């Protein structure tokens, strides 16, 4: 009998370490904290640039202490883990500051969960990873698509060899994201916000590719708001094994906001020598609770029968998958299992994103090693 694919992240034995939350926006209030409550985790303090927002989120989620800034929060003796949800140009200063406080003995913080992108580029991410290592702070990056339930289940099938040797994998996104105001000052849109999810998913399934070729164009709708280059993005990832992966991030998705009918989705397909998996991620239908789905078939008989297997579950990426990265950090800190989506691991995702930007600018395939070497970490 072949067991069904595992879709849930394992939880820590001890969920009690105090979590300090930095940020009070949508991701923190409606994803992190909702997932943490369901898992029994213990947020004890919060801060945000807008104190009234922090106070409102604290009241909503029963968080006992509201601090005026992240320094006071990091100095709180009840905070052992800091969960950061701020823009990527703000996040590095907070991480480095917490590490400095830890080094000086002013903070008990042992772990940090950072948002993706970890920094604004690969060299910036390298500095943060080095700083956390020196300070003895465990860093995990909230690459939360890894913990979407269909993505996890597909990864389990691959790890168990149910699909055989991977041949071709694709992720096709036709959806209109809610862009954040801070992106205007960054001057970039899709590669570091949406493509990074898909690149990291491929890395979680197959490891880091040798090279990437990316082509981009502007998104007409977003261009009305601010200048950018990476609106609609197409990428091909090449692996030494012969595996090829492709991503399409179509953030235009047709004139659905301008009066036409919408056809939005995120779908993935993984073809192997012994099986095939088809997934659909429910995120584009948020706030409607829409669990992701996975259909798979293999040359192996499952429960004595061939044909399609269609496991279903109640959990949805938003907000349920957000328990995964924090659970991984807590399990690491308690010694149950080493974290996977660490800062060190995320450097390869960041390098892949930077390689995609360089590829789009120079209209050529770029090896990931080129980015790593340029950052002085090769």
Instruction: Identify whether residues 243 and 214 lie together within a single domain.
Output: yes
CATH code of residue 288: 3.30.360.10
- Residue 328: inside a domain: no
CATH code of residue 116: 3.40.50.720
- Residue 284: inside a domain: yes
Q: What is the DSSP string of 157-209?
A: HHHTTTT-SEEEEEEEEE------TTHHHHT--SIIIIIHHHHHHHHHHH---
Pick the last residue of a domain from 285, 313, 341: 313
Pick the last residue of a domain from 92, 119, 142: 142
Please count the structural domains in the chain: 2
pLDDT at 300: 76
Instruction: Identify whether residues 184 and 236 lie together within a single domain.
Output: yes
- Residue 12: inside a domain: no
Instruction: Identify whether residues 177 and 307 lie together within a single domain.
Output: yes
- Residue 210: inside a domain: yes
Instruction: Identify whether residues 190 and 289 lie together within a single domain.
Output: yes
Residue in 26, 27, 19 with CA at minimum distance from that of residue 46 = 19
Instruction: Identify whether residues 58 and 180 lie together within a single domain.
Output: no
- Residue 374: inside a domain: no
- Residue 346: inside a domain: no
- Residue 339: inside a domain: no
pLDDT at 302: 63
Residue 169, domain extent: 145-313
- Encode the chain (378 residues) as per-residue pLDDT tens digits: 678 899 999 999 999 999 999 999 999 999 999 999 999 999 999 999 999 999 999 999 999 999 999 999 999 999 999 999 999 999 999 999 999 999 999 999 999 999 999 999 999 999 999 999 999 999 999 999 999 999 999 999 999 999 999 999 999 999 999 888 888 898 889 999 999 999 999 999 999 999 999 999 999 999 998 999 999 999 999 999 999 999 999 999 999 999 999 999 999 999 999 999 999 999 999 999 999 999 999 997 666 556 899 999 999 999 999 999 999 999 999 999 999 999 999 999 999 999 999 999 999 999 999 999 998 765
Pick the last residue of a domain from 116, 142, 168: 142
Instruction: Give the three-class secondary structure for 277.
Output: strand
Instruction: Identify whether residues 135 and 150 lie together within a single domain.
Output: no
Instruction: Identify whether residues 106 and 178 lie together within a single domain.
Output: no
* Cα separations in angstroms, 152 against 53, 60, 281: 33, 30, 12
Instruction: Identify whether residues 111 and 89 lie together within a single domain.
Output: yes
Residue 18: half-sphere exposure toward Cβ, Cα within 13 Å: 18
Distance CA 197, CA 190 (A): 10
> What is the value of pTM for the model shown?
0.96
**183 within 8 A of 193, measured Cβ to Cβ:** yes
Residue 310 burial by Cβ neighbours in a 10 Å radius (0-12, 13-18, 19+): exposed
Instruction: Identify whether residues 116 and 154 lie together within a single domain.
Output: no
Instruction: Identify whether residues 151 and 255 lie together within a single domain.
Output: yes
Distance CA 378, CA 375 (A): 8
- Residue 184: inside a domain: yes
Instruction: Identify whether residues 82 and 228 lie together within a single domain.
Output: no
Instruction: Give the three-class secondary structure for 255.
Output: coil
Instruction: Identify whether residues 247 and 275 lie together within a single domain.
Output: yes
């Amino acid at each position: 009998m072949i067991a069904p694919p595992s879709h849930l992240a394992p939880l820590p034995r001890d969920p009690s370490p105090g979590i300090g939350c930095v940020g009070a926006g949508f991701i923190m209030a409606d994803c992190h904290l909702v997932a943490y409550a369901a898992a029994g985790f213990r947020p004890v303090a919060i801060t945000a640039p807008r104190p009234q927002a922090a106070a409102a989120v604290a009241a909503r989620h029963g968080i006992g202490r509201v601090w005026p800034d992240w320094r006071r929060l990091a100095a709180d003796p009840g905070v052992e883990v800091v969960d950061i949800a701020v823009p990527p140009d703000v996040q590095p200063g907070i991480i480095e500051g917490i590490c400095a406080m830890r080094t000086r003995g002013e903070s008990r913080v042992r772990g940090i969960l950072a948002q993706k992108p970890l920094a604004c580029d690969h060299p910036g991410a390298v500095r943060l990873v080095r700083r956390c290592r020196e300070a003895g702070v465990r860093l995990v990056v909230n690459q939360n698509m890894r913990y979407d339930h269909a993505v996890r289940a597909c990864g389990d099938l691959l790890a168990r060899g149910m699909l055989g040797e991977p041949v071709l994998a694709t992720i096709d996104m036709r959806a209109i994201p809610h862009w954040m105001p801070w992106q205007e000052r960054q001057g970039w849109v899709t590669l570091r916000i949406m493509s990074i999810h898909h690149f990291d998913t491929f890395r979680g399934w197959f490891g880091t590719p040798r090279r990437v070729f990316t082509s981009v164009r502007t998104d007409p709708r977003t261009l009305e708001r601010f200048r950018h280059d990476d609106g609609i993005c197409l990428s091909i990832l090449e692996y030494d094994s012969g595996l090829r992966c492709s991503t399409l991030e179509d953030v235009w998705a047709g004139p659905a906001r301008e009066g036409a009918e919408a056809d939005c989705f995120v779908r993935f397909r993984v073809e192997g020598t012994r099986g095939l998996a088809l997934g659909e991620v429910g995120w584009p239908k948020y706030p409607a609770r829409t669990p992701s789905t996975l259909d798979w078939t293999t040359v192996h008989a499952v429960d004595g029968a061939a044909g399609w297997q269609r496991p279903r579950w109640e959990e949805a990426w938003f907000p349920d998958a957000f328990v995964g990265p924090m659970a991984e950090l807590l399990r690491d800190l308690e010694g149950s299992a080493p974290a996977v989506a660490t800062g060190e691991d995320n450097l390869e995702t960041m390098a892949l994103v930077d390689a995609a930007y360089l590829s789009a600018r120079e209209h050529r395939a770029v090896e990931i090693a080129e980015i790593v070497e340029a950052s002085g970490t090769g």
